[in-house]
Structure formats: C-alpha cells, structure tokens
Structure 1
Amino acid sequence: MTRHWVTLELDVDTFDADRFQPYVTRCHDEGIRLTTLAELGDTPEHRCALYELNKECSADIPERGAFYSFDEYTELRLEVPSYDPRGVVIAQDGEAWIGMAATSAHGDIAFNEMTGVRAGYRGRGLALAMKTFGMEFVRTCGARRVRTVHHPAHTSAIAMNRTLGFVDAD
C-alpha cells in the first residue's frame, strides 16, 4: 500500500475561474447540466444515486480496494458535520448522473473529497468544469484554500488539478 500520497492545494484568491469558464460553457452547449445535490434535493434517492456514481468512479483509484457499503458511505461521508449538499456538484446528461465533484468545508480550508466522471464521458473537460462550478461553494464558505489528496499513480487526476492551479502542499 502506498504511503506517499500527493497532497495538492489551491489558493482560492488566485484561482482564475474565467480561465476555465469555457469548460463550463462547453458542458452547457453539449446539453450537460451542472447542478448541486442541494438544488436537486438531498433526498434518500439522490444519496443512493450519488453513492453509485462515487463507487463507480472510485474504482479507477489505484489501490482503492473495496468501496464502502452504502451504510458506511452514509456514515463516513454524508452524516458528518462537514457535509453540505451545496458542495456536491453533479453533472447530468438528461436524467443520467455522469460526474461528481464533492467538496467539504473545514473553516478556511475546503477539501475536495472526490471528483469523478463516468468512463464514457471522460476526456471532455467535465472534471475541470465541475471543479470550477464548485468554487462558488468554496467561496461562499469562506475557505481560502482547497486541498486534495491523490495516489501518486493517479496521474490524470493530479494533472487535472495542476491545470486548475493546484500546487504541492507544504
């Protein structure tokens, strides 16, 4: 098991959302809707859909191992003080949930819990669009920095975050 995870951090004040707005616009132009779990409704059915999406996307994380049961996921991810459905961005193609970017707030630091896109939709900039869309939540919460942690072999996720301006955390 890897012990040397890659921890990246983004300064919220220097993040240039305008630079990444074309990704958000492209989603809209392609009929993909970006919304939040708060806007959709933080219902049991939507929590189940989020779980299934998170489980599917997490399968690509190196050395991830078995994913949580739904009850474990609910306890560890949703029934915690840092959970806020406004911080869960969902990408939809029609009614289908095709991507997610979940962020939690912890004072002046926000933590990107998970960003994932279903395999058939990858390579279109959806992760960049969802994380850009989610920065409104980060700013609303008053966070000054966003952190994320990756397995060193998960190079596509690391590269995507570096594109957004994330740098190695101290």
Structure 2
Amino acid sequence: MADHWVKLELDINSFDPTHFEKYVTRCRAEGIRLATLDELGDTPEHRRALYELNKECSADIPERGEFHSFEKYVELRFEAASYDPRGVVIAMDGDTWIGMAATSSHGDFVFNEMTGVRAGYRGRGISIAMKTFGMGFARESEAGRVRTFHHPANTNAIAMNRRMGFVDSEG
C-alpha cells in the first residue's frame, strides 16, 4: 500500500455550486438521474445494489486489494455511527445504477468515502455532478469541510477534486 496518501479538503463555505451545475444539467439532459439513497429508500435491496456498484468501481483504485465481503461492508458502511443515507448519491441511467458518491458525517467535517462511476459512463462529468449534488448533505450536516484522500497514482480522482476546489490538507 502507498505510504503517502494525497489528503484533500474543501471549505464548504467557499464552494460555489453554480460553477459545477453544468455537470448536473448535462446529466439530466442525457437522462441520468441523481438521487440520494434516502430518497430511493434505504432498503436491503438498495444496500446490496450499492455494495455491488461500490465493489465494481473500487476495482480501479490503485493497490485497493480485495474488496470487503458484503457482511463486512454492511458493518463498515451502514452500521457506522457516521452513516446517513442522505449522504449517499446515486447516479442512474433508467433503473441502472451507474455511479455513487458516498459521504459520512463526522461533526465538523464530512468525509467523502468513495466516488465512482462504471467504466462505460466515465469521462462525462458524472462524478462532479454527484459530488456537487451531494454538497447539499454537507451543508445540512453543518460541517465546515469535506475531506477525502487518494492513492497518489489515482491522478484522475485527485485532479477532479482539485478542479472542484479541494486543496492539500494534513487532516
């Protein structure tokens, strides 16, 4: 595993979603719907679908290793005190889940745990659209910052976050 993760942070108050609404608008124009897991229903079926999507999208993370079992995923994601289904954004093409942006609340910050899009849908701004849509949860949580970290070889994710205003952080 990498010994130096790229840690990034975004000041929510300085984030201007109008700069990124074009990505949300483009998704809608292409028939891609964005919704939270709370809106869709935090059901056992949807939790399984999120697991499968997360597992598929995580496969491209450098040095990710084997993905958790479903049981371990439930423990780490859904049974964690920081879990809130309002913080999980799903991108859908019809009934097909094509992307996810999962965040969790940690008091004064929201942690962006995972953002991923299925390979056939990448390069269309869906990740930025989901993260922009998900900033509503960060504001509702009254968090001042959004934090995330990446393997240094995950240059696309790092660049996307920096384009949105994330800066290097020690946190």
TM-score w.r.t. the length of structure 2 is 0.99
Residue 161 of structure 2 aligns with which residue?
Answer: 161
The aligned residue for residue 7 of structure 2 is 7
For structure 2, the 5+ residue unaligned runs are: none
3-state DSSP of counterpart to 1:101: strand
Matched-pair identity in %: 73
* RMSD between aligned residues: 0.4
CA distance in 2 between partners of 1:8 and 1:112 (Å): 10
Structure-to-structure mapping, 1:97-136, within 5 angstroms: 97-136=97-136
State the alpha-carbon separation in 1 of the partners of residues 161 and 155 from structure 2. 10
Q: CA deviation at 1:12?
A: 0.2
Secondary structure of the residue that 1:149 maps to in structure 2? Answer: strand
Partner of 1:97, secondary structure, is strand
**Deviation (angstroms), 1:77:** 1.0
Residues matched between the structures, number = 170
Gap runs ≥5 in structure 1: none
Q: 1-side partners of 2:119 and 2:2: how far apart?
A: 25
In 2: Cα distance, 1:76 partner to 1:112 partner: 14
* Counterpart residue identity of residue 7, structure 1: K
- Give 3-state SS (helix, strand or coil) of 2:98's partner: strand
> Aligned letter for 1:164?
M
Structure 1 CA distance, aligned partners of 2:2 and 2:20? Answer: 32
Question: What TM-score do you get using the length of structure 1 for normalisation?
Answer: 0.99
